[in-house]
Amino acid sequence: MSITLTILGCHSATPRINAFPTSQYLEINNCHFLIDCGEGTQRQMRKYKVGFSKINHIFISHLHGDHFYGLVGLLSTYGILNREKELHIYGPKGIKEVTLLQLKISQSHAKYKIIFHELTSRKSELIFENDKVSVSTIPLNHRVYTNGYLFKEKEKPRKLNMLNISGYSEIGKADYLNLKAGKDFTLASGDIIPNTELTLNPSKPLSFAFCSDTSYKPDIIPIIKNADLLYHEATFLSDREDLAKKTKHATSKQAAQIAKDADVNKLVIGHYSGRYKDISLFKKEATETFKNTELAEPGKVFYV
């Protein structure tokens, strides 16, 4: 399993006794990310045993309170825990000002360095990558500037075909890295052994698309096409599509249509309005359009 998604919070607007605003913990290809940080995120992280120290990158979709009011508390806790590793925060322009002001006024001094990456583009852009994972923005349509995020594994090295390799005594362990990188092998005779004879195709890189608060926006489909796992907000049922349009949110049916048109493998819906007491209605409506739909719930873990 290369992707593990833990739902920390998945409800809209204000926190309630058993309803926590948006926050997710993502492990992909041994990298660890926090996505959104609504009020109560720290408590949920402790409850579901999410390691604080593993997180070096936090992605905030937009500056509505139910998506980032837990951030300054988490940063303060990192200071109390004597964190030393630098922390990267990605989010809309303004996140640096509002965060540093709170830390300054509260005198929450920290030894670790906070690096802000403020976003302003209305087009999808690559904002992070290392040798394992890349992260690109998914421009959304909400009442304030908002991005979703696409997390993709990097292409993995080719697999060694040891059965075929054993037939060539000249190929030693020192050559394995070149073979994994896709290079052919040249024998002492000058004959070239094609890489495809000595290796096997690697497993397909996996991807997770996080689509936070947004109205129905079909033009994101090319960005998230064939994602292995998609989280898409579904604040309302179709009975309140008028309200969804007015507040720039989506219905469960619209989220399912996006998943279907993007040909994703699995859809997870959340950000439920408190108007609905039975969230199973969201899954019932969505599965009429896209069968492989699951409900986000606090503490629920999705594996790919």
SS3 assignment for 255-298: HHHHHHHHCCCEEEEECECCCCCCCHHHHHHHHCCCCCEEECCC
Question: Which of the following is catalytic: 36, 66, 213, 228?
Answer: 66
Whole-angstrom CA distances from 5 to 72, 80, 161, 208, 298 are 23, 27, 32, 9, 11
221, 254 contact by CB (below 8 A):
no
Written as six digits, the tokens of 222 are 């090319």
Closest to 59 measured CA to CA, from 40, 86, 37, 74? 37
Is 278 a known active-site residue? no
Contacts of 3 (CB under 8 A, 6+ apart): 26, 27, 28, 206, 208, 228, 229, 302, 303, 304
Active site residues per annotation: 66
